Structure 1
């Protein structure tokens, strides 16, 4: 069970990350490349360090899975999964559409999630079995009666493996039969926009646990659905292929289009 203390603690983690990120946004620093060629900045490291310090001090029995500093208490049943800046390229470019992702997982399943945009001071909090909130008020996905006419988002088509591009493009073709203008850019912010009813579908692949764990409670608590590309629920063992939709009834149409 998720307690009020868990929710309050997750908000405190987001506050700590935001306090580390805001002074560095559009600041004077250089981005570095990690071994996987993704970017990392001083803000990524300081934000995760701030969150980890709180967890280790106040929740010493819980585990941590972080993008920048790895795993702590690996065997713990409760794991805090941290992505200090999801969308580092947007942060580097001075675009406030990145976010801090915080998830609490119980026995491998995401049960609490936070998407925090610290510059715009926008925060989505989701708890499995409860309604998602956006800055304290209930958030809701919008109904989508058919795949045709739906808005489809992804961070970049360049992120798909060659074998995955056609599946994505088939959904785009069904959604935009006349003017194919899907939404590009956004990283976790796309899922927040879906939870607030501004986007209908997000399709991505190659995600790590810290990229998607926090998204599940936020999207599903707002009335949406998340799965992998086979329609399976997302957990710690998922393959990194991700579908999110505001209208759960569209799942079969999306899968049919992807596998046509």
Structure 2
């Protein structure tokens, strides 16, 4: 599997490219003709640097990135890169963003990392459990075994991501839980792996939004699927839970959508 040393090198590259541009005036472009889907210089330069490192170390692997598309997507191993997940938080100066780098083998997510350089936190999984490194030291990640929706904490980036039928299903689910929080992007999934929250529900995701997070969640003891209970690697509507029982309960509220 991927050496932890390589995860550290990826994290260092992400920090080098993102931190000098965070909370600084910089070029922001809109990728949509109608609406707002921002991209920054930090997004592009971070992905370029990560791609260069992967090509040097693993020249026979493919790469799929948010900003520069796919190369070698038919290869057995494909790296999936989101240089800044949570670009809206990034441009607002809010540190709930992160760099995501995942690895698939024949389409299955097998390793991944999320680094938040401003806070100094790294979450990763390489096949030998899920781990955290940061200001509070190093620890192995483990989800918490919450079994009842009434005891659960639920996160989503914003309810605005849901289509009307999805929003109705999400609202039904939200009414069942103890606490819900918005605006978390990739950070919510890592908090689920760390045992701080119990559910993350989102929609409209691309593979680069979720592939890196799947191994972290699963190797911490959690469950992550699409809303039909199928694999999450292709993105779409996603539900992650800290326990199988909680996942099953929450999925029942979302299945109608």
Is there any run of 5+ residues in structure 2 with no aligned partner, and where? none
**Contact kept in structure 2, 1:174 and 1:257, CA below 8 Å:** no
Partner of 1:110: 109
1:221 Cα deviation (Å)? Answer: 1.0
Aligned equivalents of 1:259, 1:51: Cα separation in 2: 37
1:47 Cα deviation (Å)? Answer: 0.6
TM-score by length of 2: 0.93
TM-score by length of 1: 0.92
SS in 2 for 1:120: coil
Aligned equivalents of 2:10, 2:180: Cα separation in 1: 33
- Pairwise CA RMSD: 1.4
SS in 1 for 2:246: helix
Larger % of strand: which? 2
1:239 Cα deviation (Å)? Answer: 5.0
**Aligned counterpart for 2:230 among listed residues 232, 241, 259:** 232
1:71 paired with 2:70, answer yes
**Contact kept in structure 1, 2:173 and 2:253, CA below 8 Å:** yes
1:171 Cα deviation (Å)? Answer: 0.8
**Contact kept in structure 1, 2:158 and 2:183, CA below 8 Å:** yes
Aligned equivalents of 1:97, 1:67: Cα separation in 2: 18
Runs of 4+ in 1 over 3 A off after TM superposition: none
Aligned equivalents of 2:73, 2:232: Cα separation in 1: 19
Is there any run of 5+ residues in structure 1 with no aligned partner, and where? none
Aligned equivalents of 1:239, 1:140: Cα separation in 2: 23
1:210 paired with 2:208, answer yes
Provide the aligned length of Structure 1 versus Structure 2. Answer: 250
Tell which deviates more after alignment, 147-156 or 167-176. 167-176
SS in 2 for 1:57: helix
**Contact kept in structure 2, 1:102 and 1:214, CA below 8 Å:** yes
